[in-house]
Amino acid sequence: MDLGLAGRVVVVTGGASNIGRAIAQEFAREGAAVAIFDRDEAMARRTGAEIADAGGTVSVYPVDLTDVEATAAAAAAAEGDLGPVSVLVNNVGWNGTAEFFLDLTPERWEQAYRLNFFPTLNATRAVLPRMVERRDGCVISISSDAGFGEFRMSDYGGMKAGVMSFMRTLAKEYGRYGIRANSVCPGLVIPEEDAIGEQSLWRVDTKMGESQIRNIESGIPLRRRSEAVDIAWSVVFLASQQARQLTGQVLSVSGGFQMPR
């Protein structure tokens, strides 16, 4: 099936590792030109080289997505190098260790905001004006099932709920300009060791034991956790022409762990 993505320009934030890496790879396989925005330059260039070696079109932009001016500069550079950005995938995020709310510090709240919500606002602001001018564009943000309310995830879940609300608001405000905005909520995705860079916050903060993983899997109706490629396939579909009437939607890719209404 032709998804109509060949020749389109796609920005993937946090595109160096894990889910972002899989998303960048799948868009490249569909013939899109991919711009990887990531602070981990070494891993971003490695992922970019893998895509290029497979025949894809890719450019890498080392950037801290919490920096407003640097993000705007990266977006302008991507458009200058590759052409008008048609699709933005907001993938930057961090969930840290699970803690009860009263055990969290204000510093932790701020970090949750700066890494899970602000980069989505920032990157969207960097590309949306030109999408509006062209009356064409698609924004897909990676949220989380924690955004529906999960035990010991008050800060992370709150930020991810904000991402979902932001996408719905964009869909309502800018649909008249041909802009679509949707959210994808991954279930548990355990990255392969070679799919994450040295700067990945997963490597630093988010290790899980086998017993904990098995307990989570037992509560999933399909009895298996998601893989990064499952999320990537869903994102690519939402960016395609086959999804042209889908906007303001939340898609949980979790094996049925969450079933949004």
CA nearest neighbour of 95 among 158, 182, 30: 158
Token code pair at residue 96: 């840290």
Angle CA(261)–CA(183)–CA(135) in degrees, nearest 5? 120
Active-site residues: which are they? 156
Rounded CA-CA distance 28/53 in Å is 11
Rounded CA-CA distance 166/141 in Å is 9
Look at the block and give the residue holding tokens 């997963």.
Answer: 202
Alpha carbon separation from 204 to 154, 196, 211, 255 (Å, rounded): 20, 11, 20, 27
Rounded CA-CA distance 108/133 in Å is 38
